[in-house]
Amino acid sequence: MQEKKQSISRKVITVDGSIGITIPAEMAKQLNLTNGSEVEIHPAPNGFSVTKKASLDPAFIASMEKGLKEYHGALEILRKSDE
């Protein structure tokens, strides 16, 4: 069964020289948003959509850093060959 979408109303507020809106706690919980979470805002025909920005797994980042360190010389040769 499809979840019924609720309409909410919010006022635009000033936040550190910019403008913003608040996200109701229940919606933030559904999106797993917490203080400091990053979101992506996408234009839509009648407004915009907000989605939580995907984060990279720390193990993946560590593997990439290890590979970049290990193969730095080869990667540098490839980079220079494109110049």
**Tell me: the pLDDT tens digits for 5-39?**
677 899 999 999 999 999 999 989 988 899 988 99
pLDDT number for residue 56: 77
pLDDT number for residue 14: 95
Q: What are the structural domain ranges in the chain?
A: 13-52, 55-83
Q: pTM of the predicted model, to two decimals?
A: 0.51
Judged against a pLDDT cut of 50, whether residue 1 lies above it is answered with no
Which stretches of 9-82 are DSSP H helices? 25-30, 58-70, 72-81
pLDDT number for residue 3: 54
Per residue in 42-56, pLDDT (tens digit) is 999 999 888 888 877
The Cα 50–Cα 47 span in angstroms is: 10
> Angle at which helices 72-81 and 58-70 pack, to 10 degrees?
70
